[in-house]
């Protein structure tokens, strides 16, 4: 779910374990910049892509970036998958089974992080509850339910989170 700490965990995996990070949210922001779409329209943009190209549309956008990384790196972490179709798309494109890591935090913690972070899309985009509902509609619940690993990141210090990443991966 948004603001659970996915990017932080991915950065820790990069720093501690030598993974390369592909952030699907960054890909969306790059594509929106190319099309000159304002950040407050992120939800509309993502939904329109999924309506036009299927539920794995963001994975389709991300695949060229992934293919470039695969040529040079072995260990890759992809952040921001929102549905099972995206997992399947990446597995089809790479020929590899992908393990799903869920980073979980309570609504209360995620709301506080949103307030603290003040990223432009948080301030101008969908309201917190609307964004959660959009993510659930897009299939993130299935990814969470069928994940291979779950990291609870609710009121953890950064040091505690580092330890969880080190122990698990």
Residues 19-32 pLDDT 10s: 999 999 999 999 99
Q: What is the DSSP letter of 99?
A: -
Query: pLDDT of 27-69, one tens digit each?
Result: 999 999 999 999 889 889 999 999 999 999 999 999 999 999 9
Handedness of CA 114, 115, 119, 122 (dihedral sign): positive
101-104 vs 76-79, strand pairing mode: unpaired
What values do phi and psi take at 151, rounded to 5? Answer: -110, 120
Would the pLDDT of 124 be above 70? no
The answer to whether the pTM exceeds 0.75 is yes
Query: pLDDT of 95-120, one tens digit each?
Result: 989 999 999 999 999 988 888 887 76
Query: 92 near 139, Cβ under 8 Å?
Result: no
Q: Can you give the residue ranges of every domain in the chain? A: 6-160
Overall average pLDDT of the 127-152 stretch: 90
CATH number of 6-160: 3.40.640.10, 3.90.950.20, 3.40.50.300, 2.40.110.10? Answer: 3.40.50.300
Residues in contact with 6: Cβ distance below 8 Å, sequence separation at least 6, in sequence order: 79, 80, 103
């Amino acid at each position: 779910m948004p603001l659970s700490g996915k990017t932080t965990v991915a950065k820790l995996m990069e720093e501690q374990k030598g993974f390369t990070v592909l952030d699907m949210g960054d890909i969306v922001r790059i594509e929106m910049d190319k099309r000159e779409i304002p950040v407050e329209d992120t939800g509309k943009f993502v939904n329109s892509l999924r309506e036009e190209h299927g539920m794995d549309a963001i994975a389709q956008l991300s695949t060229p970036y992934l293919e470039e990384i695969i040529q040079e790196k072995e260990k890759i972490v992809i952040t921001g998958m929102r549905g099972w179709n995206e997992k399947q798309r990446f597995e089809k494109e790479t020929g590899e089974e992908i393990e799903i890591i869920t980073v979980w935090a309570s609504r209360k913690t995620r709301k506080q992080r949103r307030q603290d972070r003040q990223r432009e899309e948080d301030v101008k985009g969908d309201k917190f509850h609307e964004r959660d509902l959009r993510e659930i509609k897009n299939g993130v619940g299935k990814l969470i339910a069928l994940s291979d690993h779950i990291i609870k990141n609710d009121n953890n210090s950064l040091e505690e989170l580092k330890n969880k990443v080190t122990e698990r991966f």
